[in-house]
């Protein structure tokens, strides 16, 4: 249970590093559609890259166990956790409902930054809750020997989910 807080912190930081710059970019009202298309294409391209290149960076294995938050940040960033949320986030930050184009861009940027933080917090809470519950169930009912003997790799599923989210992002533009 003590590992959940550093894992959540690293995961949240990884998403904020990706989402907050795009929160500022959505202030470019005239380019929002193109930014969403580019973000969706980037997610699809990263998914295809993960399908083709199945090797994990060796540097990720060199992070000490005492640096669990750093490891979580590095893993979430390397696997595209924030990138996966980008097309959905950009769709949430639609500027089509603004009364007038003359609203101050600072208001828009503040709203989008708050949405980026809310999306990141919601995703992190969901990820830590689901992962923690699964870990407790597996550890409590099956034990550690089961985990070491039955390890399976979900890289293909993750890559396909990146491609699917990117495609959904493109369809919703």
pLDDT at 93 over 70: no
Residue with tokens 């890259």: 49
For residue 102, the model assigns a pLDDT of 39
**pLDDT digits 0-9 by tens, 97-143:** 544 443 544 454 456 677 777 777 888 898 889 989 988 888 888 88
125: its two tokens: 């809470």
Q: What is the distance, to the nearest Å, from the Cα of residue 30 to the centroid of all Cα atoms in its chain?
A: 26
Mean pLDDT in residue range 34-39: 81
92 against 13, higher pLDDT: 13
The average confidence (pLDDT) of the chain is 75
Alpha carbon distance 74, 103 (integer Å): 38
Helices first, then strands: H and E counts in the chain: 7, 0
pLDDT (tens digit per residue) in 131-151 = 899 888 888 888 877 777 776
């Amino acid at each position: 249970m003590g590992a959940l807080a550093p894992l959540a912190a690293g995961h949240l930081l990884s998403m904020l590093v990706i989402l907050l710059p795009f929160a500022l970019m959505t202030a470019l009202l005239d380019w929002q559609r193109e930014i969403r298309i580019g973000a969706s294409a980037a997610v699809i391209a990263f998914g295809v890259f993960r399908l083709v290149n199945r090797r994990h960076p060796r540097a990720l294995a060199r992070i000490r166990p005492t640096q669990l938050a750093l490891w979580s940040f590095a893993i979430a960033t390397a696997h595209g956790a924030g990138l996966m949320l980008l097309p959905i986030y950009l769709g949430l930050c639609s500027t089509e409902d603004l009364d007038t184009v003359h609203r101050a861009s600072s208001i828009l940027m503040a709203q989008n930054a708050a949405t980026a933080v809310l999306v990141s917090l919601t995703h992190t809470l969901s990820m830590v809750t689901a992962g923690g519950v699964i870990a407790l169930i597996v550890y409590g009912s099956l034990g550690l020997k089961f985990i070491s003997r039955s390890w399976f790799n979900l890289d293909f599923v993750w890559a396909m989910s990146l491609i699917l989210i990117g495609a959904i992002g493109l369809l919703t533009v």
